[in-house]
Amino acid sequence: MSTAAIKTARRVFEVLEYFDEVKRPLTLREVSAHFGYPVSSTAALLKSLLQLGYVDFNRPTRTYMPTMRVAMLGDWIQASLFGEGRILRLMQYLNEMTGEMVSLGTQSDIYMQYVHVLYSREGLQYRVRPGTVRSMTRSGYGWLLLSAMPDAEIDKVLRRVNIEEDDPARRMTLEELMVPVTEVRQLGHVYSRHTVTQGAGVIGMLLPPQSYGRRFTVGVGGPVDRLEEKHDMILALLREAIPRFLPG
């Protein structure tokens, strides 16, 4: 695929994600100014989306708005990925009971990716956007996902991660990686502290395999000092709620 094609595809999704972020109609100039795109390029992009039926144009207000066609594109995904809403209800329950951020992660090639997040109600909080990726070998959720794989598969993932790693000092051996992975296997959960962000952590578990065999992690994240205080309560909630909301 050419660089120009990749650039165009990226812009399409950036614009649609911006609509999701602001949750209101936008003018051509608002979109152009937000991303720093040339007005002419933005106009061509929005015109294409309009012709394809993915946005509407309100002439009196000169604004664009996504159509139901965009919403329907992902209509099947919730049932496929989120167990017909059961995972979302699990996350809402954990969020309400702990008051902390609850996130859902899965593997995306050699990365762990956050696919859904419910934010904390606390004043001091760490926020991560859905779509954010982390290293499979250097994150708590990554260790959880790796823990469900055979050791030979873990070795394959690590080799690919090391090839992509520009800094030789950050390349790991299999023996180094298996230390946290083995701990996760023994405990049945992960308690990651200061691993990706200093001062932040997550307590999480693997969910039972979902549609198409995909594995997900769910966990409660926040400042380490609050996780320390709530550690036993969070673990008890995870152990009780996962089989209740997602019975085998």
Position with higher pLDDT, 59 vs 36: 36
For the segment 74-101, the average pLDDT, to the nearest whole number, is 81
Euclidean distance between CA atoms 132 and 117, whole angstroms: 10
151-162: pLDDT as tens digits: 999 999 999 999
Q: Which residue has the higher pLDDT, 84 or 239?
A: 239
Task: pLDDT band for 228, please (50, 70, 90 cuts).
Answer: very high
pLDDT digits (tens, 9 = 90+) for 176-199: 999 999 999 999 999 999 988 899
Does the structure show a pLDDT above 80 at 234? yes
Residue 165 token pair: 């790693």
pLDDT at 209: 86
Whole-number pLDDT of residue 80: 60
pLDDT, the chain, mean: 90
Closest by Cα among 84, 67, 80 to 106: 80
Q: Which two tokens stand for residue 126?
A: 């760490």
pLDDT value at 99 more than 90:
yes
* Cβ contacts of 125 within 8 Å, gap of 6 or more: 100, 101, 119, 222, 223
Give pLDDT tens digits for 8-51: 888 898 999 899 889 999 999 999 999 999 999 999 999 999 98
Six-digit token string for 113: 């990716």
Q: Is the pLDDT of residue 216 over 80?
A: yes
Query: Residue 2: its pLDDT value, please?
Result: 66
**What pLDDT band is residue 78 in, cutting at 50, 70 and 90?**
low
Report how far apart, in Å, the C-alpha atoms of 44 and of each of 12, 35, 152 are: 11, 15, 49
Q: What is this structure's pTM?
A: 0.73
Alpha carbon distance 107, 209 (integer Å): 12
Cβ–Cβ under 8 Å, residues 113 and 214: no
pLDDT digits (tens, 9 = 90+) for 107-158: 988 999 998 999 998 877 788 888 888 999 999 999 999 999 999 999 999 9
pLDDT band for 212, please (50, 70, 90 cuts).
Answer: low
